[in-house]
Amino acid sequence: MASCSTKFFLLLFLLSAIPFALIIHLEISDPATHVFEYHSAGWFRECAKWDDVNQRFLVSYFDGGFGVIPVPENYSSGTVLEEIPVVNNVDFGKNKTLGFVIDRPRNRVVVAIGDAVGNRYGAVAAYDLTSWKRIFLTKLSGPEDRAFAEDLAVDTEGNAYITDPLGNKIWKVGVNGEFMSIIKSPLFIPKEWYNNLFGLNGIVYHPNGYLLVLHMVSGKLYKIEIGKRNEVKLVNIFGDGSLRFGDGMELLSPNKLVVAGMTSRLVESSDDWESATIVGKCRGATHRLATAPTIKDGKVYLSHILGLGYPRKKHVLVEAVFST
């Protein structure tokens, strides 16, 4: 099964299950929360992050490449912003630009690149946030592997950790792009075969020095102590529901984690992520499929994979308000 099939299956299922008239109604109705809208040349956008220093959103292209969405000082709600391409993936053929992290101390963005159709190529790249010149490109997998570079996190030393949902492993790459190691654990592989159709996905680095990683289909959350020989623990999740089919993640605070998905969830821990509780949910623009959260001025915004409109596609970043 192609690695992109999980997201596209969910997207196609949603679009087929939702009457077209309802989609139109959802699009023209006044939003319940604040929404940043932007015009784009492409249908699919994987991930967006707020760049507070430069007052802009950064966005990765599911069809390859990277863009910025400047937010002017005189911005007013309802203004449609414009996406500006800054990186073209022509060097990588049809490979996709997926999850990424703003590495502020080094003034760069680090991004996962993968072949979402044939799973024949995986890489991680870094680009300067000012010039957009490529700093490094490190190949992680090739035609001989069935692997997929999906999402990543960066620690305080600049090391990158890239999830592979097909192999249920994490690649570690050094600050200058040098390949360092692979993190594996039996805990990453649920017993049920169907839970391994798409595995390790969303990942964040916690300021206390460990990783939090989500297994997409099973909904299991792991804590990886990278300072303790990559010791892996299963985080016990309590509360209403589970984290199944969660996608990208972002820390709202050291003890609060946002998990994007068809239903996005707010998760809270009081014991340094030995356990956690689902304390809120947000459905948002379900027909567009939320893929990644970002934090702007203390508020959570969800980016969505699907843009709508013709000939100019309009994408949205929707403020998430969580309720119990």
Computed over every residue of the chain, the mean pLDDT equals 90
135 vs 86, 141, 264, CA distance in Å? 14, 19, 34
Asked whether 115 and 122 are in contact (CB, 8 A), the reply is: yes
The CB density around residue 309, as the number of other CB atoms within 10 Å, is 12
The CB density around residue 194, as the number of other CB atoms within 10 Å, is 8
Tell me the per-residue pLDDT of 8-64, one tens digit each, with 9 for 90 and over.
555 555 555 555 555 554 555 666 799 999 999 898 999 999 999 999 999 999 888
Tell me the per-residue pLDDT of 58-91, one tens digit each, with 9 for 90 and over.
999 988 899 999 999 999 988 999 999 999 866 6
The CB density around residue 116, as the number of other CB atoms within 10 Å, is 22
Asked whether 226 and 211 are in contact (CB, 8 A), the reply is: yes
More confident call, 209 vs 65: 209
Asked whether 94 and 116 are in contact (CB, 8 A), the reply is: no
Q: Which of 96-100, 146-150, 167-171 has the lowest mean pLDDT?
A: 146-150
User: Amino acid letter at 315?
Assistant: H
Q: Which pLDDT band, with edges at 50, 70 and 90, does 218 fall under?
A: very high
Q: Which pLDDT does position 8 carry in this prediction?
A: 52
Domain for residue 219, yes or no?
yes
Number of folded domains in the chain? 1
- Domain CATH code at residue 246: 2.120.10.30
Domain for residue 35, yes or no?
yes
Report d(CA 212, CA 194) in Å as an integer.
Answer: 22
Task: Provide, rounded to the nearest whole percent, the portion of the chain with pLDDT above 70.
Answer: 88
Element (H, E) at 16: helix 5-17
210 forms bridges with which residues in the sheet?
Answer: 206
The CB density around residue 70, as the number of other CB atoms within 10 Å, is 15
Domain for residue 271, yes or no?
no
Domain for residue 262, yes or no?
no
- Average pLDDT score over residue span 129-153: 93
Question: Quick check: 323 pLDDT over 60?
Answer: yes
Report d(CA 171, CA 175) in Å as an integer.
Answer: 13
Domain for residue 109, yes or no?
yes
Tell me the per-residue pLDDT of 228-282, one tens digit each, with 9 for 90 and over.
999 999 999 999 889 999 999 999 999 999 999 989 999 999 999 999 999 999 9
Domain for residue 238, yes or no?
yes
The two tokens of residue 140 are 């992680």
Domain for residue 274, yes or no?
no
Backbone phi and psi for residue 26, each to the nearest 5 degrees, phi listed first: -65, -35
Report d(CA 164, CA 214) in Å as an integer.
Answer: 11
Q: What is the largest CA-CA distance in the chain?
A: 54
Domain for residue 272, yes or no?
no
Domain of residue 23, residue span: 5-257+279-319
- Average pLDDT score over residue span 154-170: 97
Q: Which pLDDT does position 2 carry in this prediction?
A: 39
Q: Which pLDDT does position 220 carry in this prediction?
A: 98
The two tokens of residue 61 are 């292209």
The two tokens of residue 259 are 């998990």
The two tokens of residue 291 are 């893929």
Q: Which pLDDT does position 1 carry in this prediction?
A: 35
Q: Is the pTM of this model over 0.85?
A: yes
236 forms bridges with which residues in the sheet?
Answer: 275
